[in-house]
């Protein structure tokens, strides 16, 4: 399998993740504890690295969502929850951890969903953001990188379940799909 060209190198990602963890450490220094909620599957490597760079006490939860395709895009909510958190997050400080914000529908849906659980606080973190694709504006509290409108793979992100374990973020050209 050919390797997609590098958009963000392993070193660039590692540096940025460390700096995001430092910011998060500062924000929650007095919070007591933090719940990181990773959105499967794409965020699993980012979440693992982010969590290992944090020094504040935290626990980890995962959720899984499904987005409807273009054909069903006129449904009321284009996102559906497939797997929920194991432990209640009421009164907890919660940080939603996404791999990438594209149209913004997933994060907007998740913010609504978790706000209804009455957490002590709810913030959002995404490794990547494609502002050119925004359909629903969702404020990000922590962002790794802004990228152009290209399909990216690696560091947890896939194309049809391939390329997830590439150590860097690559731009997948149409001929490699």
Using CB under 6 A as the binding rule, whether residue 99 contacts ligand 5GP is answered as yes
Among 63, 73, 136, smallest CA distance to 103 is for: 136
Sort strands 93-101 and 121-129 into parallel, antiparallel or unpaired. Answer: parallel
Pair of tokens at residue 128: 């990547």
Among 95, 98, 79, 102, smallest CA distance to 155 is for: 98
From the list 26-34, 47-55, 84-92, 102-110, the region that binds ligand 5GP by CB under 6 A is 102-110
Using CB under 6 A as the binding rule, whether residue 141 contacts ligand 5GP is answered as no
| C-beta separation of 177 from 159 below 8 A | yes
Using CB under 6 A as the binding rule, whether residue 157 contacts ligand 5GP is answered as yes
Q: How far apart are CA 88 and CA 118, in angstroms?
A: 10
Q: How far apart are CA 167 and CA 156, in angstroms?
A: 9
Binding residues among 7-46 for ligand 5GP as defined by CB under 6 A = 42
**Of these residues, 49, 90, 91, 102, which one is catalytic?**
102
From the list 30-38, 68-76, 104-112, 117-125, the region that binds ligand 5GP by CB under 6 A is 104-112
Q: Which of 106, 124, 168, 170 binds ligand 5GP (CB under 6 A)?
A: 106
| Pick 21 or 110: Cβ nearer ligand 5GP | 110
CB of 30 to ligand 5GP, least distance (A): 31
CB of 112 to ligand 5GP, least distance (A): 13
Q: How far apart are CA 33 and CA 45, in angstroms?
A: 22
| Pick 49 or 99: Cβ nearer ligand 5GP | 99
| Pick 106 or 124: Cβ nearer ligand 5GP | 106
| Sheet with 79-83: strands ordered across | 79-83, 58-67, 34-40, 93-101, 121-129, 142-146
Q: How far apart are CA 39 and CA 65, in angstroms?
A: 7
The yes-or-no answer on residue 74 being catalytic is no
**Annotated catalytic sites, by residue?**
102
């Amino acid at each position: 399998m050919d390797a997609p060209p590098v958009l963000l190198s392993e070193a660039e990602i590692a540096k940025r993740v460390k700096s995001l963890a430092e910011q998060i450490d500062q924000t929650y220094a007095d919070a007591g504890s933090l719940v990181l909620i990773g959105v499967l599957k794409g965020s699993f490597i980012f979440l693992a690295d982010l969590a290992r760079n944090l020094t504040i006490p935290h626990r980890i939860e995962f959720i899984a969502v499904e987005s409807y395709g273009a054909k069903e895009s006129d449904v009321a909510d284009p996102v559906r929850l497939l797997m929920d958190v194991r432990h209640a997050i009421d009164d907890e400080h919660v940080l939603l951890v996404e791999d990438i914000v594209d149209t913004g529908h997933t994060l907007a849906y998740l913010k609504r969903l978790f706000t209804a659980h009455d957490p002590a606080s709810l913030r959002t973190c995404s490794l990547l953001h494609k502002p050119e694709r925004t359909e629903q504006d969702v404020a990000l509290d922590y962002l790794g990188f802004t990228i152009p409108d290209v399909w990216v793979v690696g560091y947890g992100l896939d194309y049809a379940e391939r390329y997830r374990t590439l150590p860097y973020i690559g731009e997948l050209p149409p001929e490699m799909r």
